[in-house]
Structure 1
């Protein structure tokens, strides 16, 4: 067992850290200003400019297979990179990326959707959540009815990330009502549906800056060849899409927490009350100590989940732990940092309130706290996970 980064991993971490410090953090004031004016944090043109700068350092398709021109750095490095990028709220993601389930497409689908997405020529989104089917994904109602060589889709999806800008959606719909009613898992299929086929998106306003979409399908006709994977095999694709990213919520919490805690430490040293710096106050010291311990614990939960995935092993149990604990400590840390900063922390002059609103979402999306607790407890009760073992 070796609990340290290799020289190569350290080099990647430091390169990403410098990129964040030099290219992203200086944009924060502009992002806050744009968001106050109901504009995107950064424009698509600026995002592409940043992605191309990152590409110069070799960061393009960082987790995309090499055969598609990616770096394929693995999940542990993906966690480390995510932690570093999460030290800013500037909405940046690396180019050369496509959703993991798109790789299940046939050769024609890869040519038409996967490759253009990796190259940045098309944007995708994934849709399974519905107004009455959030955590309970088995309660979806959208139906797809076969008519000749086409499927006709009717229904609504909601809280879809990227749905306002996507050129196509990978959407889950019921294709065998009897099977679906019997198990709640079977009888659903994943379709690749171009926007030009007729679905519409509507912007959903939230307490944070995340702007998801509601997608409306009204007799949208989809050709047979646009089925992704197997007919009635969409539920497993949906679970794979959701589960693949779940533990990265914990990584984002660690990155945010480290940046905010450093802000709190610096402020506590500078700010004086009653003739002494805040850093001398035991109440402040304990908030700093508790935050540091929780951030470190969350980091190792994340890295363990990532390492397990790199070994080709089932990481669902560990991913749920990383997501549950990370999301909750993220909320606690940002709350403490705001308390340490007092009234200034509540203003929009500092990024704390921005992160405060964003962090609250982490306990909801990609499976709520309650869903993660259910997964963890069931894994233990059914013997899929055992205490005292390295998994």
Structure 2
């Protein structure tokens, strides 16, 4: 059981928290200033400096298998790390890791893509969503047609995280139209590793938050047979595995941000005086704080259980959907309450609350909308795929 963290996990959590407080939080005003003036949140030099400090502190490849030079601490520890790093909006991630599906690469592909990605020499992204296939991922239109020992890819992907910076993309395309149609989109698609210099281009999508996803355009992009990731015609399974991992991660990010925001509200409520006393003494404020704290703890347990279940080698997709659904909505409720507690000051760009407010809205959309998560959870229960209480 994991009702309490081990001493080793507590030590790692404390060390990561110290790194975040010492190295990242002091950069928040700089990040806000840079973004207001239209510059990158952090310069490439600063990111490199932070990565070096993190590596020297031992924060490298936290859940990467030891055979690839990682710490191999597992997904539960990764969830703890994400929660701590998400307590700041400074855009930083510990290095030494790669997308979960990239480990399905063959030995040649691992040398060319996996190892360089782990070492920070290459950046990757995953592309499944299309203009006509968002929540309905089985409705993708991108095709890959065999031509000799190459595949020719045509189509467009959209809202791809990291697509503007990626050196290569793991992209899903239809390789057998009849099989794809006969299985309602579950088969007949393949995952390809496609280098940027093979010909695809990215176009930034500007959003209400600081995230800038990309549209990826493929026009007769030729990809060698050796760049198929996994099995031919069975790329949909890889897509589901990638998305399943990403979902509980969203919940973890929401928990970390919500904890930081709630602490800001607690501190401010003790300092802000109205009608002769701190607003912390007002019942309306106390109830907002109490509700936020309770929801944060509930979301935290959902996230940790999803990560723990994955570490046990069990199917965690049901838990991942619940962690994302509840976590994302919790995060939105908390940031709204925190802004309300701060009043007009919370609405200004002098504080990061409005920034989190805009970013939090995305949590309920990407990697599966609220509605998709509810559909998955209900379907699993109604069809008997999951029994109530089976994860305890």
SS of 1:222's equivalent in the other structure is strand
Work out whether residues 63 and 77 of structure 2, in 8 Å CA contact, stay in contact via their aligned partners in 1. Answer: no
- Cα distance in 2, alignment partners of residues 62 and 85 from structure 1: 13
Distance of aligned partners of 1:228 and 1:2 in 2 relative to their CA distance in 1, 3 Å threshold: closer
Q: Secondary structure of the residue that 2:286 maps to in structure 1?
A: helix
Secondary structure of the corresponding residue to residue 376 of structure 2:
helix
- Two-structure CA RMSD over aligned residues (Å): 0.9
How is 1:184-195 mapped onto 2 (pairs within 5 angstroms)? 184-195=185-196
TM-score (structure 1 length as normaliser): 0.98
Offset of residue 371 of structure 1: 0.7
Match status 1:17 vs 2:17: yes
Find the counterpart in structure 2 of residue 382 from structure 1. 383
Q: Matches of 2:275 and 2:41 in 1, distance apart?
A: 40
User: What is the aligned partner in structure 2 of residue 182 from structure 1?
Assistant: 182
Deviations 1:291-329 (A, max 9, x none): 000001111111111111111111111111111000000
Q: CA deviation at 1:388?
A: 3.3
Question: Residue 66 of structure 2 corresponds to which residue in structure 1?
Answer: 66
Runs of 4+ in structure 1 deviating by more than 4 angstroms, as ranges, are none
* 2:250 counterpart SS class: helix
* 1:136 CA drift (Å): 0.5
SS at match of 2:46: helix
CA drift of 1:274 comes to 1.1
Q: Secondary structure at the match of 1:172?
A: strand
Partner of 1:135: 135
Q: 1:55: how far off?
A: 1.0
Would you say 1:54 and 2:54 are equivalent positions? yes
1:2 CA displacement: 5.1
* Unpaired segments ≥5 residues, structure 2: none
The residue number in structure 2 matching 1:310 is: 311
Task: Kindly provide the CA deviation profile for residues 239-267 of structure 1, in whole angstroms up to 9, marking residues without a partner as x.
Answer: 11111121011111111111111110111
Q: CA offset at residue 383 of structure 1?
A: 1.2
Give 1:389 deviation, angstroms: 3.4
Aligned: 1:239 with 2:266? no
Q: Distance in 2 between matches of 1:43 and 1:171?
A: 29
Q: Secondary structure at the match of 1:166?
A: coil
Q: Distance in 1 between matches of 2:99 and 2:256?
A: 23
TM-score, normalised via structure 2 length:
0.98
Question: Deviations along 1:177-236, whole A, 9 cap, x unmatched?
Answer: 111111111110011111111101001000000010100001111111111111101100
> Which one is further off, 35-44 or 127-136?
35-44
Q: CA deviation at 1:147?
A: 0.8
Distance 1:6 1:230 in 2: 39
Report the equivalent of 2:336: 335
The aligned length equals 391
Deviation (angstroms), 1:352: 0.3
| Contact kept? 2:252, 2:327, Cα under 8 Å | yes
After TM superposition, list the pairs within 5 Å mapping 1:66-145 onto structure 2.
Answer: 66-145=66-145
Structure 2 CA distance for partners of 1:388 and 1:228, relative to 1, 3 Å: closer
